[in-house]
Structure 1
Amino acid sequence: MGERKFTESQAERIELFQDVYEGRIPKRVPVEVSVSWEAAIRYSGLELKEAQWNTELYGVFFDKVCKEFNTDKSPIMPTLRNPVHYWLLGSKAIIMSESGYMQHPEIYCLEPEEYDLFIEDPYQCMVEKLLPRLYEGLDAGKDEKALNLARAFHAKNRTGAVMGATMAEMIEKYQFAAFPAGGMTEAPFDFLADFIRSFSGIAKDIRRYPEKVLKACDAVLPHMQKLAVVPSSSRYSRTFIPLHMAPFMRPKDFDQFWWPTFKKLMDYIAEKNVGVKAFVEHDWGDKIDHLGELGNRVEFQFEYGDPQKIKQTLGNKHIISGLYPITLLQTGTEKECTDKAKALLDVLALDGGYIFNTDKTIYSLEGKIADNLKAVIETVKTYGRY
């Protein structure tokens, strides 16, 4: 097969991101905004509980959002939480609410007295003990469990193929910049907190069983490394890492439990010459200096924080995105929304190293949110030229 040819418009958009990733100043600030699957469905006038199950409707809401929001990467991506396979597996960890949104309740699957078992062989423990506790379909006899798993994988692959084909169609139709999907992983401590012990459970464990928590983080690190680097990974196909627990921890606990194995994970990814996009959840004001210690030109999407301090601390060696408050799109006038975008550009876009993005995924386009977002996107494209 020959090398893929891009149109001039698409090539220009790709170059914007490549320039930022490589440390060059692009022609203008690239725009990357993420609209959730649920927001896109409702914006298209469809019912959540129907459209999430009906693959024939995927193209309708994908096209509606891609057509109306002139971002540089697609404003909507395939969801990680399609309900079909979760339902087939009898998931307790990811469930659909009455409103139709997929949610992650506070849940755990490892008992404190089982830490030693987990530390000895995390993968075996997860397969044999933990997954059956999270998914009722895997808590069954050998034959029934195999059948449930096969059904779920078939459904996941089928819906994934439709989403992938729909996404490829949108990229070509609207000339978005796109790179192959990279890996996705977590800080070892966050992985333990997310499903294994829960946020509240891990907060107690660092007081009651500190040595076991530290050993568990070390034990699960190789698994997190494996998830981080996949065959398609590169400087452009970046590994996504959501940073969960750190802002809710005391600096002393953060330094002892969270940072060491995360630093090892980041060093491993850097050694493989793979780029990283990290979603910096909540406010890292008292821990941001740690991020400055990292190499590898990480893209940090911030939820909250002081733009000036973030730029000063990280701007010389990393990429900054996020910080635009989606709440303003709901409450502000068009002028207030565009003025906020300009203010962020004045601080964060100086000397490059900035990708415009909102502070979090947009979960609603109702009311005046959509019109304000469109105005912000166009403002960034004109005001954000170098």
Structure 2
Amino acid sequence: MNAQELREYRTKLYTDTYSGIIPERFPVHDALGIEFMMQYAGKDLMTTQYSYTTELLEEIYNKAMELMRGDTFPMPFARNPIALMFQQSRFTKMGSNGFFQHPENSYMEPEDYDDLIKNPYDFIVEKVSTHTNQGFDTDPISRSLAFAKYMLATMDLNRIFAEVSDKFVQKYGYFVSPPGVNGMQAVPFDFLADHLRGFTKVHGDIKRQPEKVLEALEALVPYCVWRGLNPVQSILGNNMIMTHMATFLNTKDFEKFYWPTFLKICHICAERGQAMAIFAEHDWTRFIDHMQELPQGTRLQMEYGDPQLFKDKLGKKMVLSGFYPITLLKNGTRQQCIDKAKELIDILAPGGNFMWKFDKQALILNDVNPENYIALMEYILENSKYDNAGELVTIDKKEDSIVKYSHLYPKFESKYVVPFDEFKKAYPPVDDRVEPLMRHAYDKFTNMVLPFLS
């Protein structure tokens, strides 16, 4: 197949899988993070991250193609040390080894809950952003300059990655989702713990002021929904949830603080036709019965757990992936790596609703023995076909699995998110003919800037 034919073939694999149809074969994902790719290409991890150019990134990707065998190009999430420099970020810092870390910090005080509950976005913009980013904790002019530099640095790196990734997608016929259909989805408890109170202090809050925490979690729902809105809805897209705090909670606290708003977010997004792709960090076996409440077609990547149990309980309703320990590619023999893949395929692939992913990405060069990786990926591709392609995974209808919650919450509002009809009162069009042009430009650039504030 040429590149275009291969791309169409791969796109159908994903379309069928996400539609609840057994595909010709299950889709296969690589597990190589951008940090691994840099080191594999012989680049210095730290300095390379300050030096991205299209030529350098192409060189890194070309070297990584020696190993990659998957159906979709691993669009990397690359942290931007130059943008972080202008932010003077306390939330994300580069360590002496060139890897980024999230220090344990708290960016709000216990007495700040009332302000958070009143309007989460206003509170984040006015108070949290300056605590998180010391470059913004200054006079208005210096803050504006720092923000502009941070935004431009982010856009510049995004452009480089987009241009080079698109080139490789076209050249090698990778599947790629349509523009505007993917996004990151914040969920209230993880957001509260990771971005506001910190891992340690949120545990104290649920003991000392549980009602305030519950109010805050409910107040965060409209903000999280708004933050995850996608310009386009497509079965080929999804919102990605990177879970963190769930497995650190006892079951009682999980059921009281974590799950209710998490579940509502997933169903509210499903109401508008957006699927969730959830990375279930650590072992979610304790919560497997809760996960049955998620909308049909939710895409689950499991880090740990008994794959047979997850297949038995969730395999007809959810698209499953994960479970394969990336560490085996470093420590195991070639045959051990293949035997583990055979075990997982035999359990998870029958009946469809499966795609191949690892339990996590390879980040350092020592994470993967390249010979093991190539042998494993080629084995997976050779053993990924179905004899019953085209059959339905289940006769259950997805819409019957969606519980409507959106009407329970107010529309997201903030004094910093001003609709064009309000803006034009202060700056009216000089002629009716330019009004739609002004509106288009206002919405376009406002939507470009708003994500940088949150």
Alignment of 1:181-200 (within 5 A): 182-200=182-200
| 1:79, distance to aligned residue in structure 2 (A) | 2.2
Alpha-carbon distance in structure 2 between the residues aligned to 1:242 and 1:368: 23
Q: Could you say what secondary structure the match of 1:92 adopts?
A: coil
Q: CA deviation at 1:34?
A: 3.3
Q: Structure 2 CA distance, aligned partners of 1:367 and 1:187?
A: 30
The 8 Å contact of residues 300 and 321 in structure 2, kept in 1 or not, is answered as yes
One-letter code aligned to 1:28: R
Which residue matches 1:332?
Answer: 332
8 Å Cα contact 2:303-2:360 kept in structure 1: yes
Give the distance between the partners of 1:262 and 1:80, measured in 2 at CA: 26
Give the SS at the match of 2:294: coil
| 1:260-282 Cα distance to aligned partner (Å, 9 max, x none) | 11111011011011111100011
Q: Which range moved further: 241-250 or 333-342?
A: 241-250
Whole-angstrom CA distance in 2 between matches of 1:46 and 1:246: 36
Distance across 1 between alignment mates of 2:296 and 2:82: 37
For residues 88 and 143 of structure 2, the distance between their equivalents in structure 1, rounded to whole angstroms, comes to: 11
SS in 1 for 2:357: coil
Judged with a 3 Å threshold, the aligned counterparts in structure 2 of structure 1 residues 33 and 68 are, in CA distance, closer, same or farther, namely: closer
- Aligned sequence identity (%): 36
SS at match of 1:354: coil
Q: Distance in 2 between matches of 1:185 and 1:274?
A: 11
Amino acid at match of 2:218: D
Counterparts of residues 294-333 of structure 1 (less than 5 Å) = 294-333=294-333
Q: Which residue of 2 aligns with 1:208?
A: 208
Question: What's the counterpart of residue 25 of structure 1?
Answer: 22
Deviation at 1:369, TM superposition (A): 2.2
**2:21 & 2:88 partners in 1: Cα distance?**
48
Which of 145, 148, 152 is the aligned partner of 2:146?
148
* Matching of residues 123-202 of structure 1 within 5 Å: 123-180=121-178, 182-202=182-202
After the TM superposition, which of the residue ranges 79-88 and 15-24 deviates more from structure 2? 79-88
Q: Secondary structure at the match of 2:327?
A: helix
Q: Give 1:372 deviation, angstroms.
A: 1.3
Cα distance in 2 for partners of 1:91, 1:197 equals 16
The Cα of 1:54 is off from its aligned counterpart by 1.4
Instruction: State the SS of the aligned residue for 2:174.
Output: coil
Superposed, 1:236-315 pairs within 5 Å as: 236-315=236-315
Structure 1, gaps ≥5 residues long: none
1:93 aligns with 91
Query: Does residue 1:34 correspond to 2:31, yes or no?
Result: yes
**SS of match in other structure, 1:98:** coil
- The whole-number CA distance in structure 2 between the counterparts of 1:348 and 1:232 is 31
| Residues 78, 164 of structure 1: 8 Å contact kept | no
CA contact (8 A) 1:280 1:302 kept: yes
In 2: Cα distance, 1:106 partner to 1:233 partner: 36
What is the CA RMSD across the aligned residues, in angstroms?
1.4
- Local SS of the residue matching 1:293: coil
Contact 1:246 1:254 in 2 (8 A): yes
* 8 Å CA contact retained: 1:67, 1:174: no
Greater radius of gyration (CA):
2
Tell me if the contact between 1:109 and 1:196 (Cα under 8 Å) persists in the aligned partners: yes
Q: Choose from 108, 119, 123 the match for 2:117.
A: 119
**Bigger shift: 177-186 or 144-153?**
177-186
Distance in 1, Cα, partners of 2:323 & 2:12: 23
Q: TM-score, normalised by structure 2?
A: 0.82
Q: Which residue of 2 aligns with 1:361?
A: 361
- In structure 2, the residue matched to 1:219 is 219
Residues 270 and 295 in structure 2, CA contact (< 8 A), matched pair in contact too: yes
Match of 1:59 in 2: 58
Q: Distance in 1 between matches of 2:368 and 2:260?
A: 44
For 1:379, give the aligned amino acid: Y
Q: TM-score, normalised by structure 1?
A: 0.96
* Amino acid paired to 2:123: C
Aligned to 2:103: 105
Deviation at 1:66, TM superposition (A): 3.3
Q: Number of paired residues?
A: 381
On the 8 A contact 2:3/2:171 being kept in 1, the answer is no
Q: 1:16 aligns with which of 4, 13, 24?
A: 13
Q: How many angstroms does 1:67 deviate by? A: 4.5
For the 8 Å contact 1:25–1:353, the answer to whether it is kept is yes
Q: Unaligned 5+ residue runs, structure 2?
A: 387-454
Give the counterpart letter for 1:17 in structure 2.
Y
